[in-house]
Structure 1
Amino acid sequence: MEPASGEVEYEPRSVKEVLAEMKDTAELLIDLSFSAVFHGSDDIASEVLALEGKMDVLELQARMSLLMAARSPEDAEELAPVFGVVGAAEKISDAAGDIAKVVLEDIGLPQTMRAALPEAIETLVRVSIADSSPLAGQTLGRLNLETETGVRVIAIHRGGDWILNPDKDTDLRVDDRLLLRGPDEGIGSVYEQATGTEYEPPEPPKDDDTDLERAVDSIVLMKNMSELAVDLAYGSVLFDSADVAEEVVELEAEVDALQSRFEAWVLQAASRADDPVSLRGLVHLANSTEVISDAAVEISEGVLHGLGTHPVVEHAVQESDEVIVRVTVTDASDFDGTTLGHERVETETGMRVIAVRRPHDDWVISPGPETEIQAGDVLLAKGTRSGAERLAELAGVVEPE
């Protein structure tokens, strides 16, 4: 435990447990930091910084445990990729903290950015439970929102406290503020049940500055690509796949290229802006988002350099709150000969398919509703354990790999 002085002492805690907690915290931090920007919420931004402090402690605990485990050159070689995963999670945490500071320190952001963020975090919405809501008094397990709507409650703000990673036994109460993630159709349904009103996504304001629009679009795309890179990086580690790791490197290169174009567009926009200082926040967001894509490469470096995946990392990814699974579509599957959208995979299971591998090692990265699925395809998906079991069932297999 952390002493009152703020010092961190070694404790005999499982590295696997610490790594799993770091992975979950890092992924939640990305979601919460951009949500803080979207809502202009000091509360959420402050929680991001609190979680960043927690990540600092986790990183030190992980490093202490790894140093205790390294007793020979062979141990050092095997553990080197694990240190990379630890450092990458910490780097993601720091980047999320910098994004939150855009809100807390009132660093300038143009209205175009805040209006465009629903596109970047289209699966993130905050709702408050009304007195008349049928959700009030129910547990998440009883409501089964993920299976019924594809929507997951990833955090609950209750009074002055946050419930992070709520589980099936967590109850919902009047005035709870829920942070929801899921497809638009499912989000609309849950929003209406919670508030009694129809969900209306915010309309972006009109802006005549083409360069500014391009800069904002670049950050939106950078954010989506960086998150995908992190997901694929953990997938490459879990399945020791050099092919997936190479896709992570490609995504990081594309984010770098986008950042270069962004810098040119935002400078051109600043030359015509009445208040160029209002664009400072854009620069902070772009830099922090690029750091996240760099961290994704660090996660997969061990695989890229042929060092393989250390079992402790593999087990940590498997035991984290959001699992990454590999499911092979069988001849008996409902998926065979259809599309991801036709089978409503995300709505039915709450799982997000982040990649599809064809039988001849042809990868489809970030597939959409129109992506066709055939027997023999391997689906790489991210979500909860219950969702993974449902996905395996639909794919025609007994359980996910």
Structure 2
Amino acid sequence: MQRKIFAIAILILPFCWTAPSQAAKPEHIKQLLATNQCPKCDLKNVDLRGGNFRGADLTGANLAGAMLEGADLRGAKLRGAELQQTVLRSANLEVTDLQEAKMRNAMVRGANLRGANLKNARLRGARLREVDLREANLSGAFLTEAVLIESNLSMADLRGANLTAAKLTKANLETANLESANLTGADLSEAYLGEATLRNAILNNANLKSAYMAACTLVGAKLNGAILNRTDLTGANLSQADLTNAKVANADLSKTILTMANLTNANLTNSKLINAYLFNTNLQGAILTNANLTSANVENANLRNTILNSADLSQVNLKSANLYQTNLTGAILSDVNLNEIDLSLVKLMPDLFNHAARMNREPLLESVSATSENSDRTTAEQQSKPSLSPPRRAGRFAEEWRRNNRQRNRN
């Protein structure tokens, strides 16, 4: 009987036993307060709110769960310190050394980290809302799911940082360096990224709605499926960037460089691409309904199956562009040189003019060189074709186009 009771006690003991709460070692607290030096000390869950630890040496110290709200830690050495779930709200950590610090789920709202060194720090899920991170070094930092809403990261170094699913709504990243940073699924809506460097950055499925990205460097950046609706990209450099399936409606891409960029199936409805440089750009299947491409350079671009209905293509350079099955219904082609373009494969070309007439629009063609239907057609026959010169009403143009086409077919 006693053996049975003993056996039952052993079985239920693990469920009844509670681990003692971990606390800082008293001697380590005394050492810190007396000398301001406590490397590798055990200071777990210690309450040091409002304390003055300016210049303290806490290298490798364990401060997990500690209360350091409002503490002065300017210039302190916290390299490799354990700061998981540590409360650092409104603390002053200016120019503090936090390299390789482990700060998962740390609460740092409103803190001053200007000029701090957080290189390779682990900040997953950290709450850094409204934090001053100007000129901070966050290169290689792990900021997955971190909250940086309304934080100031201007001039910060974020090269190679992992910001996957991070929240950066309304954050200030002016002139910040995010080269090769991973921002997959990050929320950067309404963020300020003027003149920021995002060369080779990964922004797949990122939310950049209404962000300010004027003069940004996005060379080679990956923006697959990214949301850029109403984003200001004026003067940005997106050469060789991948914007496949990106949503770029109502955005401003005036004077933007998109050389060799991939915008396959991107949605650029109502966007501005005035004076944009789209040389050798892939726009296959892209939607540019009502887009304004005035004076844009689209030379050698791939516009196969691209939708440009009601788009403004005034003075656009379309030399050597691929217009196979391109939809130009209702497009404005004022002062466009089409001499070196094959219009025979343009989708719904006759309907372009009918639609324009109904919309009371006037597509203007500076000169149209019709494609030869037979290789043996003589130069004299080509020169005898009627000239179609501007200005003409759309309906009249369409009627004459059909009449001339029927005449050529009979010949």
- Structure 1 length-normalised TM: 0.18
Q: Which structure shows the higher helix fraction?
A: 1
- Structure 2 length-normalised TM: 0.17
